[in-house]
Chains A and B, each alone.
Chain A
């Protein structure tokens, strides 16, 4: 089955980051699998309007007001008219939102459900429960996820977090991890294994370290509080004091960069700590291969793609044991620390000792990571989610044997979410005493706006955009069949109204 999918998030290129590259990689692999994918994001400086990326990936940079760290102002309804226009002209069937802080994504899921589309949400981050900001965010997330077809989380920790925050049925949450493009993260002197599979010759030479060889520790992260920069600032002088032949390379920028520079100057470590400033994503590999250890002091992390990239480059990883990080890499590739200064210093010491004793076979990491993570696999698993929510897969197969017979309010009888306004209102009403009523009000207003928009900008007045020309694979009458199916569904929807 071929789907038309809209990926929606506030976070996309040209801004660098994990969510951004996740969306891009997933989209391009889904296109390779024959789906049509568009991306809707807000306008960045110098990027407004419609753009095409490689492989016919279409990006809509919607002009919107940005308030904080590239997140748009949360207006509940203002995105609807333009969203509807894009959805109709691109004949979208599945709305896939990314990032729980992205208001564009939250709005899109609400409007998408109002328009009778399937909605999927991918959560990339972890949140607390205690402080005021988190409570507000969690309420907003609960609102959005009250009526969503499926949720994807990047790690099991993230799944647990999301299920608790949004009071979801765990059956409708899948875990699909991030991946890395292993070809872009090869170690130095890496020889491509030959096709005939001779395991004896393909292993790269073991790089033995002498006791006086310099060990370089690489840190690449945005220098924000949640990335653990404060921990790093406290740990660096202690690590450098207790180990003689150790250097640091730090890449990245952010509000904490100034503190880091002050620390370097105060301790006169200019010759042992190299600050590179911001690096582009394609340069990350070149920075990584200059070191032997990758230090990741993050305080909260749902997945941590960067440690996979580091391991793929053949670096031994020292990281804090928070969030989804322990799930990401096997124990032989990592040295865990508690998120505190003393333990981080101790773990780094252990890692340096292990490398000096040549106990870690870092040269094998690349091939192992390549076996574990691939975007093609991520795309295939995401496609299965799409098939499950659109009813192409039977309920037992998609939700597992436990779901059979258990009818819940969140899932309809056929295993797929009902679009009827009454059913949707029931789902929202359960959100809380006051919140439930408020959410219902929002949904009703949203529906009325939808009806009004249908009158002001009728569907017949919206041009259908042409699909990116693609080589036809044999047996593509499938496409026409699908188009008629689509039409009959939308006409049914109109009748209902």
Chain B
């Protein structure tokens, strides 16, 4: 929760006049060199941590269910006989399953959690709109939903109770469906952002009158 407490920012990408993509995201965009460096360092640490715990778990596995030397594959022996491998064996011997399991699980979750939320709305004139919402972890892909123009009845901004607050939301009315489709359902950005998206979407989705 504390990771997503950054106020979401809006990015608009309009390659052609009939296509606009609105992305609302809590992801920080590194634009200066130190920030870029920090970003990549974080990424590297994540990868290393992820590899370490997998080796550690594998070592524990081997310790608990040992195999004869001959059955080990080349990569396995290469990994486990190296410096990291022996270190992993040492730790694995010292720590009990009941501690190691949850600890690895926690680190694994930390490595796999996305740490930011990104939601977008892609508007294509004559085709429809596509909403997408990023998943919480790197394991699953983002959830997308395409709504063709013919079934869009209306797009509006309204307010609703959410927890202890009243929040604005942008919603699409789809014909034949009981509930509206909420755009940016996780982030629920501020009214100013929603209004910009709403105006842009309506302008882009519908053909302008011919004599203007």
With A50-B159, A63-B161, A81-B165 already in contact, 15 other A-B pairs whose C-beta atoms are closer than 8 Å = A48-B161, A49-B159, A49-B161, A50-B158, A50-B166, A82-B164, A85-B165, A85-B166, A86-B166, A463-B167, A463-B168, A463-B192, A464-B191, A465-B166, A466-B191
Flag whether A73 is at the interface (Cβ < 8 A). Answer: no
Count of residues in B whose CB is under 8 Å from the partner chain = 12
Q: How far is the CA of A216 from the CA of B17 in the complex (A)?
A: 72
Flag whether A260 is at the interface (Cβ < 8 A). Answer: no
The 8 Å CB contact of A82, one of B159, B165, B168, B192, is B165
Tell whether, in the assembled complex, residue A89 and residue B164 are in contact, meaning their CB atoms are under 8 Å apart: no
Tell whether, in the assembled complex, residue A82 and residue B161 are in contact, meaning their CB atoms are under 8 Å apart: yes
Q: How far is the CA of A488 from the CA of B158 in the complex (A)?
A: 30
Flag whether A115 is at the interface (Cβ < 8 A). Answer: no
Flag whether A60 is at the interface (Cβ < 8 A). Answer: yes
Flag whether B83 is at the interface (Cβ < 8 A). Answer: no
Which residues of the partner chain A approach B139 to less than 8 Å between Cβ atoms? none
Interface residues of B, dominant DSSP: strand
Flag whether A441 is at the interface (Cβ < 8 A). Answer: no
Q: Which residues of A48-101 are within 8 A (CB) of B?
A: 48-50, 60, 62-63, 81-82, 85-86, 89
What is the distance, in angstroms, from B95's C-beta to the closest C-beta of chain A? 39
Q: How far is the CA of A166 from the CA of B159 in the complex (A)?
A: 38
Tell whether, in the assembled complex, residue A89 and residue B161 are in contact, meaning their CB atoms are under 8 Å apart: no
Which residues of the partner chain A approach B161 to less than 8 Å between Cβ atoms? 48-50, 62-63, 82
What is the distance, in angstroms, from A452's C-beta to the closest C-beta of chain B? 12
Please list 18 pairs of residues, one from A and one from B, whose beta carbons are closer than 8 Å in the complex, sorted by A's number.
A48-B161, A50-B158, A50-B160, A60-B166, A62-B161, A63-B161, A81-B164, A81-B165, A82-B164, A82-B166, A85-B165, A463-B168, A463-B190, A463-B191, A463-B192, A464-B191, A465-B166, A466-B191
Q: Which residues of B154-204 are within 8 A (CB) of A?
A: 158-161, 164-168, 190-192
Minimum CB distance partner of B159 in chain A: A50
Flag whether A135 is at the interface (Cβ < 8 A). Answer: no
Minimum CB distance partner of A81 in chain B: B164
Tell whether, in the assembled complex, residue A457 and residue B160 are in contact, meaning their CB atoms are under 8 Å apart: no
Which residues of the partner chain B approach A380 to less than 8 Å between Cβ atoms? none
Tell whether, in the assembled complex, residue B160 and residue A49 are in contact, meaning their CB atoms are under 8 Å apart: yes
Minimum CB distance partner of B164 in chain A: A81
Flag whether A462 is at the interface (Cβ < 8 A). Answer: yes
Q: How far is the CA of A463 from the CA of B191 in the complex (A)?
A: 6
What is the distance, in angstroms, from A463's C-beta to the closest C-beta of chain B? 4
Which residues of the partner chain A approach B166 to less than 8 Å between Cβ atoms? 50, 60, 82, 85-86, 89, 465
What is the distance, in angstroms, from B91's C-beta to the closest C-beta of chain A? 41
What is the distance, in angstroms, from A107's C-beta to the closest C-beta of chain B? 14
What is the distance, in angstroms, from A59's C-beta to the closest C-beta of chain B? 11
What is the distance, in angstroms, from A284's C-beta to the closest C-beta of chain B? 33
The 3 closest A-B pairs by CB, nearest first: A81-B164, A463-B191, A50-B159
Which residues of the partner chain A approach B192 to less than 8 Å between Cβ atoms? 463
Q: How far is the CA of A462 from the CA of B160 in the complex (A)?
A: 13
Q: How far is the CA of A82 from the CA of B165 in the complex (A)?
A: 6
Which residues of the partner chain A approach B168 to less than 8 Å between Cβ atoms? 463
Q: How far is the CA of A252 from the CA of B191 in the complex (A)?
A: 45
Chain A 296-316 against B: per-residue CB contact (8 Å), 1 yes, 0 no? 000000000000000000000
Which residues of the partner chain B approach A82 to less than 8 Å between Cβ atoms? 161, 164-166
Minimum CB distance partner of B5 in chain A: A461
The 8 Å CB contact of A85, one of B158, B160, B164, B191, is B164
Minimum CB distance partner of B165 in chain A: A85
Which residues of the partner chain A approach B165 to less than 8 Å between Cβ atoms? 81-82, 85, 457, 462
Q: Which residues of A19-66 are within 8 A (CB) of B?
A: 48-50, 60, 62-63
Q: How far is the CA of A62 from the CA of B160 in the complex (A)?
A: 10
Which residues of the partner chain B approach A86 to less than 8 Å between Cβ atoms? 166
Q: How far is the CA of A469 from the CA of B49 in the complex (A)?
A: 56
Which of A48, A60, A85, A466 is packed against the most chain B CB atoms within 10 Å?
Answer: A85
Minimum CB distance partner of A60 in chain B: B166
What is the distance, in angstroms, from A40's C-beta to the closest C-beta of chain B? 11
Q: How far is the CA of A82 from the CA of B192 in the complex (A)?
A: 21
Q: How far is the CA of A356 from the CA of B121 in the complex (A)?
A: 75
Minimum CB distance partner of A464 in chain B: B191
Q: Which residues of B101-124 are within 8 A (CB) of A?
A: none
Chain A 136-170 against B: per-residue CB contact (8 Å), 1 yes, 0 no? 00000000000000000000000000000000000
Which residues of the partner chain A approach B164 to less than 8 Å between Cβ atoms? 81-82, 85, 457
What is the distance, in angstroms, from B196's C-beta to the closest C-beta of chain A? 14
Which of A49, A62, A463, A465 is packed against the most chain B CB atoms within 10 Å?
Answer: A463
Q: How far is the CA of A148 from the CA of B190 in the complex (A)?
A: 34
Q: How far is the CA of A62 from the CA of B191 in the complex (A)?
A: 21
Q: How far is the CA of A463 from the CA of B170 in the complex (A)?
A: 14
Which residues of the partner chain B approach A62 to less than 8 Å between Cβ atoms? 161
Chain A 457-496 against B: per-residue CB contact (8 Å), 1 yes, 0 no? 1000011111000000000000000000000000000000
Which residues of the partner chain A approach B158 to less than 8 Å between Cβ atoms? 50
Which residues of the partner chain B approach A465 to less than 8 Å between Cβ atoms? 159, 166
What is the distance, in angstroms, from B164's C-beta to the closest C-beta of chain A? 4
